[in-house]
Chains A and B, each alone.
Chain A
Amino acid sequence: MMKILVPVKRVIDAYVKVRVKSDSSGVDLNNIKMDINPFCEIAVEEAIRMKENNLASEIILVSIGGSKSEETLRKGLAMGADRAILIDCGDQELEPLSIAKILKEIATKEAVDLVLMGKQAIDSDNNQTGQMLSALLGWSQGTFVSEVKKDDDGLIVTREVDGGLETISLTIPAVITADLRLNEPRYVKLPNIMKAKKKPLDKMVLADLSIDTTARTKTLKVEEPVARTSGELFEGAANDTVAKLIEKIGNKL
């Protein structure tokens, strides 16, 4: 049975409208609803299903972020993870390479067999950390995964690739990143939220780990994208509206 590590990130709620700060220093997150990154939630769900199917012995969550990331960890614990680790880095925004180095340390210390994580966070949209972690650990890599199965030798994963689907086998230990269609995460029930409050949650600060997290990049500015404005709207009978559309773009079709 496998010991699984699931890294989770606290991000802006997927349905909240993003506003860029007027001084172009970033995105305004003041009083904005935050939640677990959707891809991380899918990874937590998959780990729990593996445990329910007797493939996993323990699920450990880890979040690297501000102190409020504890809420994100509690949500994962309420879903069914066993324990959690918070690595508090305050307001510091760490780059994927630094996050991967920290996760390598945790995965090694906890002697996990599998790291199951989201393919990307919906804030920075980097899609890097899982692949970097896999490289640093020297483990097998299965990205953008929509199905995970266990066989005698290792894991069989189906990946969502540009042309369709690809199935590969992975040796264990492995790093797997979840795509949208891996599963539908469960709703958390109230009694489980209460129970999650009593589950173990270890806190560390970044300085407890001697990892160089010096930033290599600097964000010079964050701006609104070039806005598209709405154009002409045609309403009425189908033959009328289609005729108007054809008049406008018929020569380009």
Chain B
Amino acid sequence: MSILVIAEHDNQSLKTTTLNAITAAKELGDDIHILIIGSNCQTVTDAAVKVNSVTKVILADDTVYEHQLAENVATLIVKVVSNGDYSHVLSPASTFGKNTMPRVSALLDKQMISDIVKIESADTFVRPIYAGNAMATVQTTDDIKILTIRPTAFEVTVAEGGSAGVENISSAGDAKLSAFISQELTKSDRPELGDARIVVSGGRGLGSKENFENLIPALADKLGAGIGASRAAVDAGWVPNDYQVGQTGKQVAPEIYIAIGISGAIQHLAGMKDSKIIVAINKDADAQIFGVADYGIVGDLNEVLPELMSSLK
């Protein structure tokens, strides 16, 4: 039996989350296939064949897959799984995986298991429930296990040393149920939130969009950090939606997470409490964020941040 990993990519590069999923796959078996579904994605394929431990790269390259619409992508995955001999099908629990994998699961009549943080055995997995306030150990009787894995819970597999062969497969066509119109992607030279070694995150305590923009990016740039935000800051329109860290936003686990003016609602903690070191700056000594912080500064962020900036010079 083999393990199938669905690649997350943007037709140009293989996303790091795919390499997290491969690490999870290695705990399940040693015949690991990567399925790449995209359009004009030769560079992704070139990267995938080099990934350590990958035995085969399966490529479905067709213009129909340019924007990876769930209906079309799921149909193709189902075709590959049905024609293969797979015990597990994995994808990162990113918006790509969350959008696609339940569809695959239903079409195969399997009960998927979402957002796995630990593999106990081939059929038993640990996943957070209730915004990470409880951890459930779940066992499945399904013969083919459809899984999404939380990227921050698994190391990145080295993207070198492999020499997998490529199998080209034909497109499963366009169901014509949905069509891409446009996208607005946040452009930034900073590290991606999920990959950053340090994350600087701002919340309601910053008081205004202007204050957020004046204080947070400057500190992030000084530290080479990614920028995150609480739901309050996103809802207020200070930053785009994809900055949100939390239960329904992104889950991050950087080496250092710096929470600035964030009170620490459980929904926010769900997205960052696996960070190695948590630093919190908040004027309210009773803020919940201090309950999970390794180091906390009780004080006015408008005084603390300039002081921190000058100390870092």
A and B part of one assembly: yes
Mark each residue of chain B from 52 to 76: 1 if its CB lies under 8 Å from any CB of chain A, else 0.
0000000000000001011100100
Given contacts A135-B107, A166-B183, contact A123 B176 (CB under 8 A): no
CB-contacts of B87-123 with A (<8 A): 94-96, 98-107, 109-115
Mark each residue of chain A from 12 to 48: 1 if its CB lies under 8 Å from any CB of chain B, else 0.
1010011010000001000000000000000000000
Say which one of A56-64, A70-78, A109-117, A230-238 lies at the interface with B.
Answer: A230-238
Q: Give Cα distance in the complex from A167 to B178, angstroms.
A: 10
Task: State whether B242 touches A131 (Cβ < 8 A).
Answer: no
**Cross-chain contact of B102 among A96, A181, A215 (Cβ < 8 A):** A96
Give the Cβ gap from A79 to chain B, nearest Cβ, in Å: 20
Does any Cβ of B come within 8 Å of A163's Cβ? Answer: yes
**Cross-chain contact of B103 among A14, A141, A249 (Cβ < 8 A):** A141
Does any Cβ of B come within 8 Å of A146's Cβ? Answer: yes
Contacts of A126 in B (CB 8 A): 114
14 other A-B residue contacts (CB within 8 Å) besides A162-B194, A233-B285, A234-B295: A97-B106, A135-B106, A135-B107, A144-B98, A160-B241, A161-B96, A166-B67, A166-B182, A166-B183, A220-B124, A223-B134, A228-B292, A238-B300, A243-B311
Given contacts A217-B113, A221-B137, contact A234 B296 (CB under 8 A): yes
Does any Cβ of A come within 8 Å of B210's Cβ? Answer: no
Say which one of B37-45, B164-172, B301-309 lies at the interface with A.
Answer: B301-309
B residues touching A (Cβ–Cβ < 8 Å)? Answer: 10, 67, 69-71, 74, 94-96, 98-107, 109-115, 124, 128-142, 176-186, 194, 198, 223, 231, 234-235, 240-242, 247-248, 250, 255-256, 266-267, 273, 277-279, 285, 290-300, 303-304, 306-308, 311-312
B143: nearest chain-A partner, CB-CB: A216
**Cross-chain contact of B178 among A129, A168, A234, A243 (Cβ < 8 A):** A168
DSSP majority for the A interface? Answer: mixed
A residues touching B (Cβ–Cβ < 8 Å)? Answer: 12, 14, 17-18, 20, 27, 95-97, 100, 119-120, 122-136, 138-144, 146, 156, 159-171, 179-181, 215-225, 228, 230-236, 238-239, 241-243, 245-246, 248-250, 252-253
Give the Cβ gap from A219 to chain B, nearest Cβ, in Å: 5
Give the Cβ gap from A248 to chain B, nearest Cβ, in Å: 6
Given contacts A128-B102, A231-B296, A249-B295, contact A20 B241 (CB under 8 A): no
Q: Give Cα distance in the complex from A234 to B98, angstroms.
A: 40
Contacts of A236 in B (CB 8 A): 299
Contacts of A248 in B (CB 8 A): 295
Give the Cβ gap from B184 to chain A, nearest Cβ, in Å: 5
Task: State whether B71 touches A233 (Cβ < 8 A).
Answer: no
Q: Give Cα distance in the complex from A236 to B247, angstroms.
A: 33
Q: List 9 A-B contacts (CB under 8 A).
A: A17-B266, A18-B133, A96-B102, A123-B130, A125-B129, A128-B114, A169-B179, A252-B255, A252-B277
Give the Cβ gap from A140 to chain B, nearest Cβ, in Å: 4
Interface centre among A130, A134, A163 (most CB of B within 10 A): A163
Task: State whether B105 touches A249 (Cβ < 8 A).
Answer: no
**Cross-chain contact of B250 among A162, A166, A221 (Cβ < 8 A):** A162
Contacts of A139 in B (CB 8 A): 177
Give the Cβ gap from A102 to chain B, nearest Cβ, in Å: 13
Task: State whether B112 touches A128 (Cβ < 8 A).
Answer: yes
Contacts of A160 in B (CB 8 A): 95, 241-242
Closest 5 CB pairs of A and B: A131-B102, A132-B106, A140-B177, A231-B294, A128-B102
Given contacts A135-B102, A164-B184, contact A241 B304 (CB under 8 A): yes
